[in-house]
């Protein structure tokens, strides 16, 4: 390791050895995360009331501890007011930023830091879009998206308009930051769901039939909302380059979750969009500022039967430790979650059956999802926040309204669900983050209504681990797109710094590697988005290491 | 479903001379002539009206069967057999609501008739009211413990309810019965194979799908699923042969192109894989 400024954030040594089970405890209330999630009424008569919202882990005050942003929904009367041209005053509870106090407790600093949201909140995201070293916040909405610039003094200023984000009313859902043109500035892709302007909330809601069950109508047969790609101009503003970049969502598919990720191993960030009730998009980066839609020929458009699905959330990660990123999308009940293993560069195969996930996921309606090594045994588990959209789903016999937050333990590439003893609910957004810096990944999980859960990972016997916090200098400051390989004990682990995925939520921006019984890492190899390569020899384990581009 | 899949009635309002033997021989033409002669002699003959509706049903003339059954029921409204024919005719015509009404009445008049319960189950299954379908199919197989189609459909229903162990057991029971039949059904073998693929047991699945193909060798869907099972079990060369042979016979089979593309991904043949993904998309075009 060269002249490093390795910062020890935590050195809580964990005992090595085989894991003896995952344990999580919901500590949201005692930690002070007191929020009442709202998403319309309990009857769910409109599609706007069904999809919930998300949360983001971020360290807005750079104190080395993850804070959490929770985006809340709204009510139909407020939505009607907004749609009729009079956005109501921002209510309390629409948006929460909780500062991590470091003692297992959080303090609600929303008003103090200047955050607000008068609209119906959907997605929570964060990135240092202006490269000033302070993480900024993006809130997507049914309404107008809000971009809060971090002023660096503990406050934020909303600057969506001056930054050039559209001010029209949209139903935007997931978003992702990534530097597609590799100019050192994070660009932004925002997914559109349904054209909310085409819905008449003053009229009686339509009643549609799902397997004999009456429910809200949509998204099928509703007008879709097109996605937008914004290029970061590098001066605090963005330009809509959707058409120029050839990512125009001409069919206006019902977009939910976006990931910026190099999915064909050509070192350029591509864009994957999970679409509800339609084929997914994979925009492969041509390297000249344009993309080519290639989902079908990459095996990512449809599931293993060649059918499109109701894709909601996305888990991205190398679940089989073969050095290639894999994807999983969560889908509707009575259908399976396809696990797209990257078999060769840019070519994916739905291996959900072989991986034990096909039959196992059929009862679930999944939303947020991710791969995380909860027990630090060296392989990543799959986690999914589940919950049905129809309160009467019990009558279907095949599923339920309240569903579990599921963890599927990874046993050599075959997954088996483990019972966590966590209450069932109708969950939506969720994000993993090690809020107490103990090397065990925790999870914030939001229900569509009611109180969120903060699942503190209290697994007792876990393996060794290491964490990396990357800062770009020539590359974008968040190091989005950096590729990292960890080698030790004859094994290799791979991950990338990415934004997007999950569902309306942002995971811990740091990289976390479970190492199993490997207590000595030989080297960490980083390929920065700029192309610079950096090797850290013999880094310490069981701690977070901050790495600045070019300084090791 | 072929019309002849429905069982001949166990009783009926009496028979006409020689008709029973012709029905046993499934000689529908001569049976029809016998019934027509009887109707010429006696247009209001209840047996003749009943058998007329039955024979029209067996020969796939469902609309005419429903008319004849209605005429018969005007004169004999409490006939469970008549209600059954009428209900089945509506079912075959895709008219679920009147079919359900008639079959419900029939089930009250002929409580031990497994076929009626089976078709009530089919109506519920097609509506995706799986709890109700389950109850009907359970009753059907309790009334007829040798019903291949009953156990097969029970398996489908359990599968829809994500009760996979029970689904597997139902298919296995259907197969056990089917193996003793002169006329075999390909469905339980196929359904069990597809379920086992979902469960990640591709090697086992391939055996059942192979057996489905021995029952019905030219079944494209089973050939595709057989190839999927072989591919999932890493018998990539064999899987490829199955799909390429199918595509020679059916060059526009979209599913075969898709599954071949997936197989070529595994075989690390990216350009060929992409070609078949494109052919899949083209084949799917109307």
pLDDT digits (tens, 9 = 90+) for B58-90: 999 999 999 999 999 999 999 999 999 999 999
Whether B124 and B184 share a structural domain: yes
Predicted local confidence at residue B20, as pLDDT: 87
Chain A nearest CA to B132, separation (Å):
9
Look up the pTM and report it: 0.93
B34 lies in the same domain as B110: yes
pLDDT tens for B19-36 read: 888 988 989 999 999 999
Q: Do both B216 and B97 map to the same domain?
A: no
pLDDT over 80 (residue B213) = yes
pLDDT at B14: 65
| Cis previous bond, A219, omega within 30 | yes
Q: Report residue B183 as tokens.
A: 């006329």
Q: How many domains does chain B have?
A: 2
The torsion region of residue B116 among left (phi > 0), alpha (psi -120 to 50) and beta comes to: alpha
Nearest one of A502, A468, A492 to A371, comparing CA atoms: A502
How far does the CA of residue A277 sit from the closest CA of chain B (Å)? 17
- Clarify whether residues B60 and B179 are in a common domain: yes
More confident residue, A316 or A12: A316
Higher pLDDT, A275 or A250: A275
Query: Which residue in the set A299, A355, A395 is minimally distant from B262, CB to CB?
Result: A299
Report how far residue A270's alpha carbon sits from residue A387's, in angstroms, rounded to the nearest whole number: 30
Task: Tell me, yes or no, whether B183 and B211 share the same domain.
Answer: no
pLDDT surpasses 80 at A18: no
Q: What is the CATH number of the domain that holds B102?
A: 1.25.40.10
Q: Render pLDDT for B177-187 as a digit per residue (tens, 0 to 9).
A: 999 999 999 99
pLDDT band at A461 (very low <50, low <70, confident <90, very high): confident
Asked if A75 and A40 count as a contact pair (C-beta separation under 8 A), the reply is yes
pLDDT of res. B33: 94
- Three-state SS at B198: helix
Q: Which residues of A touch B164 (CB under 8 A)?
A: 359
The residue out of B156, B177, B202 marking a domain boundary is B202
Q: Is the pLDDT of residue A123 over 90?
A: yes
* Owning domain of residue B173: 3-202
Categorize the per-residue pLDDT at B6 as very low, low, confident or very high, splitting at 50, 70 and 90.
very low
Contact A359 B281 (CB under 8 A): no
CB pairs under 8 A between A and B: 86
Please judge whether B162 and A396 are an interchain contact, meaning their C-beta atoms are less than 8 angstroms apart. Answer: no
Query: Do you know the residue count of chain B?
Result: 286
* pLDDT for the residue numbered B286: 60
CA-CA distance, B10 to B13, in Å (whole number)? 10
- Select the residue from B97, B124, B126, B128 to test the A interface by mutation, using most A Cβ atoms within 10 A: B128
Clarify whether residues B130 and B251 are in a common domain: no
Same-domain pairing of B125 and B197: yes
Please report which confidence band the pLDDT of residue A462 belongs to, taking 50, 70 and 90 as the band edges: confident
Residue of chain A whose Cα is closest to the Cα of B255: A306
- Torsion, CA A403, CA A409, CA A411, CA A414, rounded to 10: 30
Nearest to A397 among B131, B199, B262 (CB): B131
- Check whether residue B196 and residue B228 sit in a common domain: no
Based on the fold, state whether residues B215 and B185 are members of the same structural domain.
no
What ipTM does this complex have? 0.89
- Strand A156-158 with A146-150, pairing: antiparallel
Q: Residue B87: which H helix or E strand, with range?
A: helix B80-92
Using an 8 Å CB-CB cutoff, list chain A residues near B273.
297, 299, 347
Q: How far apart are CA B143 and CA A35, in angstroms?
A: 55
> Domain ends where: B176, B202, B228?
B202
- Mutate which of A359, A386, A393, A396 to test chain B, going by most B C-beta atoms within 10 A? A359
β-bridge pairing A427-433 and A442-447: antiparallel
Domain-terminating residue out of B151, B177, B202: B202
The single residue listed with the structure tokens 């033409």 is B29
d(CA A132, CA A292): 32
Q: What is the pLDDT of residues A510-536, one digit of tens each?
A: 999 999 999 999 999 999 999 999 999
User: What digits encode the pLDDT tens for the residues A275-301?
Assistant: 999 999 999 999 999 999 999 999 999
- Note whether A196 and A225 are within 8 A (CB): yes
Residue A66 confidence (pLDDT):
98
Can you give the pLDDT at residue B2?
36
* Same domain membership, residue B263 and residue B174: no
* B145 and B253 part of one domain: no
pLDDT digits (tens, 9 = 90+) for A310-355: 999 999 999 999 999 999 999 999 999 999 999 999 999 999 999 9
Nearest residue on chain B to A342, alpha-carbon basis: B265
Distance CA A229, CA A177 (A): 10
* Contact between residue A28 and residue A443 where contact means Cβ atoms under 8 Å apart: no
Q: Find the closest chain A residue to B164 by CA distance.
A: A359
Look at residue A20 in the predicted model and tell me its pLDDT: 54
Verify that B150 and B94 share a domain, yes or no: yes
């Amino acid at each position: 390791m060269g002249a490093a400024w390795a910062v020890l954030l935590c050195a809580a040594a964990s005992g090595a050895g085989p894991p003896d089970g995952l344990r999580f405890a919901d500590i949201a209330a005692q930690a002070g995360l007191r929020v009442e999630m709202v998403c319309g009424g309990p009857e769910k008569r409109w599609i706007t009331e069904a999809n919930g919202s998300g949360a983001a882990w971020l360290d807005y005050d750079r104190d080395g501890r993850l804070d959490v942003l929770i985006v809340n929904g709204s009510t139909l009367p407020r939505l009607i007011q907004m749609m009729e041209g009079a956005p109501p005053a921002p209510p309390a509870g629409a948006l929460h930023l909780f500062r991590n106090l470091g003692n297992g407790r959080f303090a609600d600093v929303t008003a103090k830091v200047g955050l607000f949201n008068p609209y119906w909140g959907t997605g929570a995201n964060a990135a240092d879009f202006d490269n000033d070293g302070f993480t900024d916040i993006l809130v997507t909405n049914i309404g107008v998206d809000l971009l809060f610039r971090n002023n660096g003094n503990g406050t934020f200023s909303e600057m969506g308009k001056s930054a050039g984000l559209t001010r029209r009313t949209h139903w935007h859902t997931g978003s992702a930051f990534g530097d597609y043109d590799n100019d050192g500035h994070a660009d932004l892709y925002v997914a559109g769901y349904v054209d909310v302007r085409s819905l008449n909330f003053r009229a009686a809601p339509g009643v549609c039939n799902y397997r004999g069950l009456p429910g809200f109508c949509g998204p099928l047969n509703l007008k879709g909302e097109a996605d937008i790609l914004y290029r970061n101009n590098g001066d605090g503003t963005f330009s809509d380059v959707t058409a120029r970049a050839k990512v125009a969502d001409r069919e206006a598919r019902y977009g939910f979750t976006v990931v910026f990720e190099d999915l064909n191993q050509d070192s350029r960030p591509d864009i994957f969009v999970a679409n509800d009730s339609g084929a997914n998009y994979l925009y492969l980066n041509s390297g000249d500022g344009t993309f080519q839609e290639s989902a079908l020929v990459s095996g990512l458009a449809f599931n293993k039967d060649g059918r499109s699905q109701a894709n909601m959330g996305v888990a991205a990660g190398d679940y089989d430790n073969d050095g290639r990123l894999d994807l999983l999308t969560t889908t509707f009940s009575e259908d399976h979650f396809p696990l797209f293993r990257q078999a060769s560069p840019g070519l994916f195969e739905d291996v959900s059956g072989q991986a034990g996930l096909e039959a196992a996921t059929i009862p679930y309606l999944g939303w947020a999802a991710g791969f995380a090594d909860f027990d630090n045994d060296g392989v990543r588990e799959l986690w999914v926040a589940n919950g049905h959209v129809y309160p009467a789903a019990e009558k279907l016999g095949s599923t339920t309204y309240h569903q579990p937050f599921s963890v599927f333990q990874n046993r050599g590439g075959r997954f088996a669900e483990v019972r966590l003893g966590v209450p069932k609910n109708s969950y939506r957004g969720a994000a993993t983050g090690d809020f107490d810096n103990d090397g065990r990944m925790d999870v914030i999980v939001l229900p569509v209504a009611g109180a969120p859960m903060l699942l503190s990972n209290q697994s007792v016997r876990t393996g060794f681990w290491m964490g990396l916090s990357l800062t770009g200098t020539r590359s974008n400051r968040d190091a989005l797109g950096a590729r990292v390989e960890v080698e030790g004990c004859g094994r290799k682990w791979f991950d990338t710094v990415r934004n997007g995925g999950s569902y309306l939520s942002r995971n811990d921006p740091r990289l976390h590697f479970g190492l199993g019984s490997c207590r000595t890492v030989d080297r960490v190899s980083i390929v920065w988005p700029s192309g610079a390569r950096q090797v850290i020899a013999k880094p310490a384990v069981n701690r977070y290491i901050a790495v600045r581009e070019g300084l090791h | 479903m072929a019309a002849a899949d429905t069982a001949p009635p166990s009783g009926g309002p009496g028979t006409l001379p020689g008709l029973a033997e012709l029905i046993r021989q499934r000689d529908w033409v001569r049976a029809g002539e016998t019934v027509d002669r009887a109707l010429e002699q006696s247009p209001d003959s209840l047996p003749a009206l009943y058998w007329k509706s039955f024979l029209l049903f067996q020969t796939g003339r469902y609309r005419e069967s429903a008319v004849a059954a209605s005429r018969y029921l005007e004169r004999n409204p409490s006939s469970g057999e008549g209600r059954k024919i009428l209900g089945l005719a509506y079912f075959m015509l895709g008219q679920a609501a009147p079919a359900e009404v008639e079959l419900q009445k029939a089930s009250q008049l002929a409580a031990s008739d497994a076929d009626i319960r089976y078709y009530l189950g089919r109506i519920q299954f097609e509506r995706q009211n799986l709890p109700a379908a389950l109850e009907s199919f359970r009753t059907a197989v309790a009334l007829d413990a040798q019903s291949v189609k009953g156990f097969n459909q029970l398996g489908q229903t359990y599968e829809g309810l994500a009760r996979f162990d029970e689904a597997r057991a139902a298919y296995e029971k259907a197969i056990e019965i089917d193996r003793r039949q002169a006329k075999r059904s390909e469905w339980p073998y196929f359904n069990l194979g597809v379920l086992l693929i979902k469960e990640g047991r591709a090697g086992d699945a391939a055996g059942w799908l192979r057996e489905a193909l021995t029952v019905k060798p030219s079944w494209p869907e089973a050939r595709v699923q057989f190839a999927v099972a072989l591919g999932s079990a890493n018998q990539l060369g064999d899987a490829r042969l199955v799909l390429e042979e199918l595509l020679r016979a059916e060059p526009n089979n979209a599913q075969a192109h898709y599954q071949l593309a997936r197989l070529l991904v595994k075989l690390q043949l990216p350009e060929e894989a992409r070609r078949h993904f494109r052919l899949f998309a083209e084949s799917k075009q109307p």
